[in-house]
Amino acid sequence: MTLAAVAAAAGVSVATASRALSGRGDLAPATRRRVLAAARSLGYARDPAAGGRPPGSARLVDLVLGWYHNAYSDEVTAGARSAAAEAGYDLVLTEERDAPDDDWPMRIRRRGSAGVVLGLISPTASQLTALTDAAIPVVLMDPQSENSRGLASVRTTDRDGGFAAALHLAERGATRFAIVLGSPPYRYGRARNAGFREALRLARPGADLVALQVSWNAAAAREAAVPLLRGLRAGERLGVFACTDEMAAGVYAAAAATGHRIPDDVLVVGFDDLRGARWLTPPLTTVRQPIREMAAAAVAALADAAAGAALPASPILLPTRLIERGST
């Protein structure tokens, strides 16, 4: 199969097809995708290093996130940067935009990165193909679904964290329970929910449990929790597990709006242990997931792969830990 055949199938010149396949040149993303699709359908094989840097030659690791400049991404970046420096690599921050013209995989190919950490995003099949065709390894950090497409991944013990939250609320004297779940229901949210429910069945069989399904933010959690707290009867203590610290902050706001006190009337446990958790009043009891360590483990796996080791076939699991503070 020839480059000319690929160009003809994609309706472009041979020069344009060459630039698209090598990751060079300023091409429209749609054109590049069309050429890559034609090459795959025709079985055209090309040296991924042709016309550009071989993978890993630039001593770079790319961290791809959907957003930066928040507490979660700051923790991820700090962990990834430290691990990259220790392995002798520089870290490149790449932001994925939810737009059809976002060609971040091709930019990574042009840089000759040694590997890519994808955090909290679900790459498309074409995005992954652009990387794997260039022999650039990928590690998923906290994948949103169970189907990781055979890629290496790093995650935390979400189910164990939810289990610990339920036991703690039961031990602290909650008489009713609520769980604030994120929507869409990503893999880690489902696991936290399952662990919480399992522990509650063991610790308090038949206990009253209300599930609130909200967007993954504080404002949505507050709006959903206000009616629940308004219905709280005298003498009851509501134990709330929020699947993120941000949603737990929304429960705090709902308690303030309805005249309830934390932890006297409402006990709250979050999940993440981001820096804002200890700044709430009272400080938030939360399930700590080792975000920095997870990012570092993902980068270390890529550095090992660049040195010739195989990426782990099973997910790398780092443990959660309940951090007790004033909210319980």
Q: What is the pTM of this model?
A: 0.82
Q: Encoding tokens for residue 144?
A: 């949103």
> Rounded to an integer, what distance in angstroms lies between the CA atom of residue 309 and that of residue 325?
42
Q: Which two tokens stand for residue 202?
A: 């063991």
Find tokens 């699709």 and name the residue.
Answer: 37
pLDDT tens across the length of the chain (328 residues): 788 888 899 898 888 888 777 766 566 767 877 887 788 788 776 654 444 455 556 789 999 998 898 899 999 999 999 999 999 999 999 998 776 667 888 889 888 899 999 998 878 888 888 888 788 899 999 998 887 678 899 999 999 999 999 999 999 999 999 999 999 999 999 999 999 999 999 999 999 999 999 999 999 999 999 999 999 988 899 999 999 999 999 999 999 999 999 999 999 999 999 999 999 999 999 999 999 999 999 999 999 988 888 999 899 999 999 999 999 9
Output the CA angle 95-309-81, nearest 5 degrees: 35
Instruction: Report pLDDT for 111.
Output: 85
Q: Which domains does the chain have, with CATH numbers?
A: 3-42 (no CATH), 60-155+292-318 (3.40.50.2300), 158-289 (3.40.50.2300)
Distance CA 7, CA 149 (A): 29
Q: What is the pLDDT of residue 49?
A: 44
One-letter amino acid at 289 equals: Q
